[in-house]
Structure 1
Amino acid sequence: MVNRFVLNAISYHGKGAISEIPGIIQAKGFKKAFIATDPDLVKFGVSKKVTDLLDAAGLDYEVYSDIKPNPTIANVKNGVEAYKKSGADYMITIGGGSSMDTGKAIGIIINNPEFEDVRSLEGVAPTKNPTVFTIAVPTTAGTAAEATINYVITDEEKKRKFVCVDVNDIPNIAVVDPDMMSSMPKGLTAATGMDALTHAIEGYTTAAAWELADCLNLEAIKLISKNLRKAVENDPDGREGMALGQFVTGMAFSNVGLGIAHSMAHTLGAVYNTPHGVACAMFLPIVMEYNQEATGDKYKYIAEAMDVDTTGMSQEEYRKAAIEAVRKLSKDVGIPEKLDALKEEDLDFLAESAYADACRPGNPKETSVEDMKELFRKLM
């Protein structure tokens, strides 16, 4: 069997890493940046940390911030037109998954105009050309979109999210600076951090998992378990640990896929606009219980990575211990266990949409629409 692994060409890590950006641009000879970021990051001066560096270096740019938390087809289409009018020759994405996913779709369409129908990018689109040169700067420790070949767009008309997987969309350069994450409020830090843990655990147990990805995902579980509580309290070491942990699992899950916790989370986001990290966090222990018989001894290593002593435990006991460790971390950082918006009459649509999601085939256990209905019901 042949396993493929796609990574950024270059990544920069640590406090102050954004200071590298002007030199990168000057060395490449680029003339003008198209900056994709969300309006709140502009409003609260987070994007300004990067644009101030560009201003000081005399580098030209244009800011595009028509981006929703669950980015839509319209956000992408408007961004494509804005890019064409801007005269930009490269892109900087600043934000969480919403900004970076929008930027990926824009960049792919600019260099592959035959895919201007955004829906045509769903699944594994056969694009020919890499995205426009992109520097990705995350402001959340969760999605790892700066390190992945995936992006997710919301189809508001059909009330669904669709996943796009394309080796041509990975940013050329990732700049992972924990100082860019220091203004995240507690709730967002918790939600994005639990999204990262879901990436690591689903990536470690997915049907396509293999040794290279496994060692990265296990290390990510350790980093996230050790640092998320501290990051929620805005501890600088916790922020730095989470910045690294979410990137490490991003390198891995991007190449092996995920599972049904993400499939169902995508559906909740599309129907109820539930924050993605919150949806993932609520589903993770539920899905771990559902999948446990299909995971061999992997829950033992998950439990140990989360600082559980499994000495003398049976398989049943260490599986339960891993699930409880996840549940406790989620509770400690303030994630709810139930979703009040969830309605019985929506379950058929939710389950069918989740079953059709691109992450579902990676689940280690075969599932069905009826199984997924029951899993959704556990959030009620």
Structure 2
Amino acid sequence: MKKENYDFMMPNVNFFGPGVVEKVGERAKMLNMKKVLIVTDAFLRNLDNGPVKQAESSLLKADIAYVIFDGVEPNPKIRNVKEGKKLYMDNHCDSIITIGGGSSHDCGKGIGIVLSNGDNLPALAGIETLENPLPPLMAVNTTAGTASEITRHAVITNEETHLKFVVVSWRNVPLVSFNDPMLMLDIPTALTAATGMDALTHCVESYVSVNRNPITDAQAIQGIKLISKYLRRAVANGHDVEARTNMAYASILAGMAFNNADLGYVHAMAHQLGGQYDAPHGVCCAVLMPTVEKWNIISNPERFSDIAELLGENIAGLSVREAADKAIEAMILISEDVGIPTNIKSLGALPEDFDMMAENALKDGNAFSNPRVGRKEDIIKLYQQAYDA
């Protein structure tokens, strides 16, 4: 382990459980929010008795004014951030509440960043580049996967270059998060699978990260256990409340882990796929994970042996190396069971883009905590292997 001293970041207050969305207005009032910009997408805004409607009701009860920006796109773009900022300023808002999954939370963070740190968002990519605090920010989560509602990461796509970039700062961490499993019951099957696999990737990459620590290990371990037990159930029946609740727990544990241990090449490479081809982030991670982690095994086979056991594999009588290989088999099996594609070719990936994507992946903020150090040629080869899988 490289680090001996570490910090630990997460929101000041985290509400969890059925009905906690009702507390949005109360907490907004405690934070002295007067005019809130709600950041969400059009589908959630128009959903009868959905998360946005419930949050609106809570704000109205607390006598807090708000305006809604519902222009968030999957893999949120710089243009979404600019549009949200304009609405914020035109309506003299003083705070932000994000409602949705990772796209809404990342877009809301992006809006907060440009409001206080200047309009050149790509120039702020990297780790701890923000000099000024964001406006007060709360996050209401509706998916079990990205954990952006509790993390310091804001992932934005530059629609002109098709490149995703990450602004990583403690200033991005929302002040309050809300995880209400009842808001997740009607999530489509494909989104349940993709976000659940994203959470699994968070756990795995955190557990083998060079920046891991005993606290993040505990979170990653429990997250893997829960995902192994409940993701298939949540995909099979979205109204399985026990499965939804435990996947929400797994997601927030995974977020706490990677928010502090950081990630690795799976996410660094997935950001290039998502930016270049506008592919779902969780699917990108799930498709890449077996290929990348098989390459990573030699860095710490004991950790991968642990992962195999946590994913339900019987490793009795196996050598550490043999058990480590079982972890990769388990990753492939859970992906197949929940309907994830087997290769990046199915996501529209083109081999002629691999050189450029590999170069950018190595610049991604997640690359520096990967347990095995690679060169551009290695990353190109990993993309090719994931293409041919």
Normalising by the smaller structure, the TM-score range is over 0.9
What residue in structure 2 maps to residue 153 of structure 1?
156
Query: How do 1:1-380 residues align onto structure 2 when only pairs under 5 Å count?
Result: 1-45=4-48, 46=50, 47-112=52-117, 115-232=118-235, 233-234=237-238, 235-338=240-343, 339-340=345-346, 341-380=348-387
The residue type equivalent to 2:88 in the other structure is Y
Runs (4+) of structure 1 exceeding 6 A deviation are none
The residue type equivalent to 1:183 in the other structure is D
Report the alpha carbon displacement of residue 110 of structure 1 after superposing the two structures with TM.
2.0
Q: Provide the rounded CA distance (Å) in 1 between the counterparts of 2:376 and 2:131.
A: 35
The residue type equivalent to 2:364 in the other structure is D
Q: Provide the rounded CA distance (Å) in 2 between the counterparts of 1:34 and 1:42.
A: 13
* TM-score (structure 2 length as normaliser): 0.94
How big is each residue's C-alpha offset from its partner over 1:81-120, in whole Å with a ceiling of 9 and x where there is no partner? Answer: 21111222221100111110111121122233xx321112
The Cα RMSD (Å) is 1.4
Report the alpha carbon displacement of residue 177 of structure 1 after superposing the two structures with TM.
0.5
Instruction: Work out whether residues 342 and 379 of structure 1, in 8 Å CA contact, stay in contact via their aligned partners in 2.
Output: no
Report the alpha carbon displacement of residue 68 of structure 1 after superposing the two structures with TM.
1.2
How many residue pairs align between the two structures?
378
Q: Provide the rounded CA distance (Å) in 2 between the counterparts of 1:250 and 1:84.
A: 31
Q: Provide the rounded CA distance (Å) in 2 between the counterparts of 1:271 and 1:110.
A: 27
* TM-score (structure 1 length as normaliser): 0.96
The residue type equivalent to 2:71 in the other structure is D
Instruction: Work out whether residues 23 and 58 of structure 2, in 8 Å CA contact, stay in contact via their aligned partners in 1.
Output: no
How big is each residue's C-alpha offset from its partner over 1:162-201, in whole Å with a ceiling of 9 and x where there is no partner? Answer: 1111111100000011111112100000000000000110
The residue type equivalent to 1:178 in the other structure is P
Instruction: Work out whether residues 223 and 241 of structure 1, in 8 Å CA contact, stay in contact via their aligned partners in 2.
Output: yes
Instruction: Work out whether residues 76 and 118 of structure 1, in 8 Å CA contact, stay in contact via their aligned partners in 2.
Output: no
Q: Provide the rounded CA distance (Å) in 2 between the counterparts of 1:258 and 1:82.
A: 34
The residue type equivalent to 1:378 in the other structure is Q
Segments of structure 2 that go 5 or more residues without pairing to the other structure are none
Report the alpha carbon displacement of residue 56 of structure 1 after superposing the two structures with TM.
4.2
Q: Provide the rounded CA distance (Å) in 2 between the counterparts of 1:65 and 1:249.
A: 27
The residue type equivalent to 1:63 in the other structure is I
Instruction: Work out whether residues 17 and 181 of structure 2, in 8 Å CA contact, stay in contact via their aligned partners in 1.
Output: yes
Secondary structure of 1:61's match? strand
Q: Provide the rounded CA distance (Å) in 2 between the counterparts of 1:129 and 1:60.
A: 25
Q: Provide the rounded CA distance (Å) in 2 between the counterparts of 1:348 and 1:311.
A: 41
Instruction: Work out whether residues 25 and 55 of structure 2, in 8 Å CA contact, stay in contact via their aligned partners in 1.
Output: no
Report the alpha carbon displacement of residue 252 of structure 1 after superposing the two structures with TM.
1.3
Segments of structure 1 that go 5 or more residues without pairing to the other structure are none
